[in-house]
Amino acid sequence: MDALARYEPIIPEFDAFLEACERHLPTTVRVNSIKATRDRVVDALEAEGIDVYGRDWNSDVLGVATGKPGKTWPYVHGWIHGQEEVSAVPPAILDPQPGEVVWDSCAAPGGKTTQIAAAMDDEGLVVANDDNLGRLSALRANCDRLGVTSAAVTNTDARRATLDPFPGVDAFDRALVDAPCTCEGTVRKNADALEGAGASASRNLAALQSDILERAIELTREGGTVVYSTCTFAPEENEAVVDDALADGDCRLLEFDTGLESSPGITEWNDETYDDSLTKTRRYYPHQNDTGGFFAAKLEVTA
């Protein structure tokens, strides 16, 4: 946990945070409303002898008393998708609507893509992009298993993405940038997550993250929504990246509330200061909701 020590000045109840990072992560699944209702899923899981408990902030997120939800009947038939609870936050913030055109810039393996499609009642277009060809098979497989028909899978560098493959689409209504990151927030399920983590690794990734976010803003219509998220605690990859986007003047931060306990984004880190509006971003720490760690920002495109 030494790699996390640098965050002590910004994380409330730091000892509780460290203790939570060392605990086992509860298993959660997301109900796939394209194929099943919450009640049908609960009945099916309980019929297999699996205890199920709800999560107050999102009725489609369920805790399950099994470490292998992928071996259950509801999973095989596409009624549920194994998804860490806080990972369901960015699509919920994005709030996509039926009939819209939405870009998931870094989509594989597809948990958030399929959540977006379900929120849209599988109506409209979800452009699910990933630059890693080897991960596209998992993305396609999850879309197929979950019955998603509104997704178009693309394989391109998100920094250079265009709308050319989609004649008639002038801009995206919404875009999700769940950016590649140092993944510190996944330490509860991946003991190796902190290997190589640190300020240097975060700074190296920040340029890539900024470029993808900039492209998402460029491709989204005026008045449209862009959500930026990571599963890391590093300000270099979180507030600093959003601050760079704000400096370009083509977007503004929006407030949001998911119902989960969280902390506001920071406006100072080491020798850096960020725009005061960064307090509208949210930091989700493991000890607050017994989840992994996440960061999320909701932006409105203004030009």
Q: Is 130 annotated as a binding residue?
A: yes
**β-pair partners for 152:** 127
The residue with tokens 């205890």 is: 51
**107 assigned to a ligand binding site:** yes
Tell me: is residue 157 an annotated ligand-binding position. yes
- Please tell me whether 108 is known to bind a ligand: yes
Q: Is 112 annotated as a binding residue?
A: yes
- Tell me whether residue 251 is annotated as binding: no
Tell me if 19 sits within 8 A of 187, measured CB to CB: no
Burial environment of residue 14 by CB neighbours within 10 A (0 to 12, 13 to 18, 19 or more): middle
The DSSP code sequence of 12-73 is SSHHHHHHHHTSPPPPEEEE-TTT--HHHHHHHHHHTT--EEE-TT-TTEEEES-S-GGGSH
Given the residues 21, 143, 181, 231, the one annotated as active site: 231
Residue 106 marked ligand-binding: yes
How are beta strands 263-264 and 282-284 bridged, if at all? antiparallel
Residue 124 in marked binding region: no
On whether 271 is known to bind a ligand per the annotation, the reply is no
Catalytic site includes residue 231: yes
- Residue 291: DSSP 8-state: S
Is 15 assigned to a binding site? Answer: no
* Exposed/middle/buried for residue 38 (C-beta within 10 Å: 0-12, 13-18, 19+): middle
Q: Before 109, cis peptide (omega within 30)?
A: yes
How many other CB atoms are found less than 10 A from the CB of residue 278? 22
Residues annotated as part of the active site: 231
Binding residues for S-adenosyl-L-methionine: 106-112, 130, 157, 178
Q: Which residues are annotated as a binding site?
A: 106-112, 130, 157, 178
